Copies of this chain bind each other. A is one copy, B any other.
Amino acid sequence: MSDAEADRHREKMEKRKAVQDAEVAEKTIEKGLLIVNTGPGKGKTTAGLGLVLRALGHGWRVGVVQFIKGAWDTGEKHALKAFGDRIEWHTLGEGFTWETQDKARDIAAAEQAWAKAEELMADPTIRLVLLDELNIALRYDYLPIDAVVAAFRARRSDLHVIVTGRNAKPALVEAADLVTEMGSVKHHFSAGVKAQEGIEF
């Protein structure tokens, strides 16, 4: 790299930094965020778990409610035991609807899980709540979307809430501060690769 090239790079980056700094300075509001991770791709739950980890690193207490139990005992639940009572983990949902095959039982489980979610959101020692696969319960109308969105809007101002699951309802997206759509570009299941320990569970 010539000196002239190095100089051009530095000048370009100086300008870029000025733009970046100005953008950061414009943003002044602090608030608890309603975060939605949706879409058909991977990473909705794991991105939520990454935020749980980040929050724990800041010394916060964190609550987790799993609305769908899933077919296996998950690695993350085991790992988070390292943080003792700094994390409250509740698996209250049943398995996927095609596993239980019982709609009344699915609805009862969703209602129980939502009651726990409301309890965690009301706990002043908790700064972040992850409601894993809540979108599934909303999608099948196991819980009333209006009541759920109203509870989110009424949350205290420093509480972060993360909702995961495919097919987020429009009313939830409307109420959210941050919505990410995970898109599947390429998936190993298509190549006959099975669900892998440590990756899928």
Contact with B along A95-128 (1 / 0, CB 8 A): 0011111111000000000000000000000011
* A66 lies within 8 A of chain B by Cβ: no
A103-B186 contact given A27-B192, A46-B54, A49-B53, CB 8 Å threshold: no
Provide the residues of chain B in CB contact with A80, threshold 8 Å. Answer: 53, 57
- Docked-complex contact A198 and B51, CB < 8 angstroms: yes
Cβ-neighbour of A17 out of B5, B35, B43, B101 (below 8 A): B101
- Docked-complex contact B55 and A198, CB < 8 angstroms: yes
Query: Once the chains are docked, how many angstroms separate the CA of A98 from the CA of B17?
Result: 5
Quick one: closest B residue to A103, CB to CB? B9
- Docked-complex contact B103 and A33, CB < 8 angstroms: no
In chain A, positions 50-68 with a C-beta closer than 8 Å to chain B are 50-51, 53-58, 60
Query: Once the chains are docked, how many angstroms separate the CA of A98 from the CA of B78?
Result: 40
* A169 lies within 8 A of chain B by Cβ: no
Sample of 19 further A-B pairs with CB below 8 A, known A29-B192, A182-B183: A13-B101, A17-B99, A29-B194, A30-B193, A30-B196, A36-B185, A38-B185, A43-B182, A47-B47, A47-B182, A49-B54, A54-B76, A57-B75, A57-B77, A58-B75, A79-B83, A177-B193, A178-B187, A179-B184
